[in-house]
Structure 1
Amino acid sequence: MAEEIITKSRRSRIKDAFIGILVGIVMIIAAIVLIFLNERHGLHTMQSLVEVQRTLIPIPNVPVDQKNNLHVVYVTGLTTTKDTLKDPLLTI
């Protein structure tokens, strides 16, 4: 198998190196921006969860009280069914 030797001028190698440096700088800037956006989203999520925790109303599972409509509530209790549970979206 014949080996092919390719020569590049010094100017071409410097140009390629400069392009590589610019691409690296752009990637670093993009990574920093994405990290800040992600952290801001996480902060908003945390603030929303704290707000919900302050307004959360624990209620008994019976009787249903209409005054709790449009409020964030949680119910605990035993759940049973005679049917087979399945999820068609996840095919389980």
Structure 2
Amino acid sequence: MTGNLAAVKKSIDWFCDTASIIDPKEFESIGQKREVSAGAQEQFNGFTIKNDTGEANEWYCFFNGRLIKGSKIAIQKHIEAYLVARQRAMQQQAQQKR
């Protein structure tokens, strides 16, 4: 076996667990895909949603002084729900002042 040391170790671990051989190059490509997606960051309605690991449910955002974590879609829905509720509250206040 030849390749990246971490990939060779994963290949050996895989063989010990499953008794089947996978070329270390397969594990190298997985590691590269993860590195590309790791460190993702996105702006959403004025809030920064981040993912340091590249895992699907490892997104987080500092939202109104609190840390919220989960999938990117769940965090986006939470932010949208808050913004809609805030907008409704502001509209109700404006109507009461009339």
Global fold match (TM > 0.5): no
Comparing both chains, which one has the higher relative contact order based on Cα–Cα distances under 8 Å and sequence gaps of 6 or more? 1
Return the TM-score normalized by structure 2: 0.33
In terms of Rg, which structure is larger? Answer: 1
| TM-score between both structures, scaled by the size of structure 1 | 0.35
